Amino acid sequence: MSFGDPNNPYGQQPQGGQPAYGYPPQAPQGIPAQGGYAYPQQAYPGVPGYPGSPLPMPGGVKGARVILWILGILQALGGVAVAVIGAVFASEFADSSSSSSDAGTALSVFFVVIGIVLVGISLWPILTAAKLGKGRGGVRVSGIIFGSLQAGFAAIGLIGNVITLSSQHGTGAGAAMFSLVLTLISLGLGVWIIVGLANSAASVYFKRPQY
């Protein structure tokens, strides 16, 4: 039996699995060599192949966060505007008669107080939106409660707008229709917050491990 040319360094390997001419045996493909730099494969829940990476925020939570920011900022601006109107009333009635001045002062104080209350309430959606990125279940519940109140007040306003619209004509009907559209938008935003934070993807996100 012939084993090839003995002078050919690339001849047949000797039998018995021994390496030829000092070359180490090659490991089969797919199996890391012992003692090498093979890294263990780790699985990350939600982001395969990237162990330890943060779980991305679901689209519903992102949408709810944007809405909370918008509603909070608009409410804060509205509160400031109401407070400014109250201050203007106070200055307008300052030089009037005593009875008119007292009535104007009371009205201006009322507007200023309402404005301060609106600014204070606006901190609720703003802080909730700011903490959604790193918050836990409590922040999620806070957002759902705010969205529920938003939708609830909008639903009450919607009923009132429908009743007003049915009894108005001409210019009054146009104003009532505009108010109805704004109420529908407010209702839709409240429902969007609830759905975005109450679905299963949001539940997984707020239960994620934090590193």
CB 117 within 8 A of CB 86: no
pLDDT digits (tens, 9 = 90+) for 76-109: 999 999 888 888 877 776 666 566 666 667 778 8
DSSP state string for 91-121: HHTTTS-HHHHHHHHHHHHHHHHHHHHHHHH
pTM over the 0.85 mark:
no
The two structure tokens encoding residue 47: 């982001």
- Residue 92's contacts (CB-CB under 8 Å, 6 or more residues apart) are 104
Tell me which of 14 and 160 has the higher pLDDT: 160
Judge whether residue 12 has pLDDT over 90.
Answer: no
Q: How far apart are CA 158 and CA 71, in angstroms?
A: 18
- Residue 125's contacts (CB-CB under 8 Å, 6 or more residues apart) are 68, 69, 71, 72, 75, 143, 146
